[in-house]
Amino acid sequence: MQHDSKFDEQQIVQRLKKPSEQRVAFSELVQHFSEPLYWHIRRMVLSHDDTNDILQNTFIKAWMNIEDFRGESRISTWLYRIAINETLTFISKARPTLPIDSPEAAIVEQLESDTYFCGDNAEAAFQAALQQLPPKQLLVFNMKYYQDMKYEDMSELLGTSVGALKASYHIAVKKIEDFLKDKD
């Protein structure tokens, strides 16, 4: 999760509670968290368009439920939880059934057809390996690998023990290594 010295979560939360400041404060929240949430989601779903849809749904859900935010966790944690739930829901509904003979070819084709993807064959193979992971393992891998998130922060965000998260990450790494070895 991104921390910015100019962005004061507690001050934003206070402003979100005031009807006269709520819209402007929420707009600042969206502006601050759009990019980190975008990349958090994008690493899970690959497609730019799907990522934008999920991000939009995340902020819509946050806006519609802003009155329910009680401040028991940081607002960033709350937003990430919404984004994670929206992403996992999307994946469970939309993950393509990949051809048995060449699942990575379907993923590579999907990546290459996305005008926002700019990677080489190694990156495409790595992304194909990631897409073989179950959604929650993929989530833990992305949070640790790309965001270098501490297991304690993941535990707070996902409501899972640190030990289970560490095990999930190491199993994911092993599966990725095995997938990539088989492709050599």
Domain boundaries, the chain: 1-95
Q: Which residue has the higher pLDDT, 104 or 89?
A: 89
**Where do we find the tokens 């990546």?**
111
pLDDT tens by residue, 14-29: 999 999 999 999 999 9
Q: What does the block give as tokens for 68?
A: 């329910």
Highest mean pLDDT among 2-11, 16-25, 67-76, 111-120: 16-25
Neighbours of 180 (CB within 10 A): 14
58 has a pLDDT exceeding 60:
yes
CATH topology of domain 1-95: Rna Polymerase Sigma Factor; Chain: A (1.10.1740)
User: By percentage, how much of the chain surpasses pLDDT 90?
Assistant: 43
Closest CA to 182 of 141, 125, 100: 125
Q: What is the pLDDT of residue 161?
A: 94
51 has a pLDDT exceeding 60:
yes
User: By percentage, how much of the chain surpasses pLDDT 70?
Assistant: 81
Q: What is the pLDDT of residue 147?
A: 83
Count of helix runs (H) and strand runs (E) in the chain: 9, 0
Burial of residue 139 (CB within 10 Å: 0-12, 13-18, 19+) is buried
| pTM listed for this prediction | 0.71
Torsion of CA 32, 126, 104, 124, to 10 degrees: 70
Q: What does the block give as tokens for 139?
A: 């989530």
154 has a pLDDT exceeding 80:
yes
Highest mean pLDDT among 23-27, 89-93, 140-144: 23-27
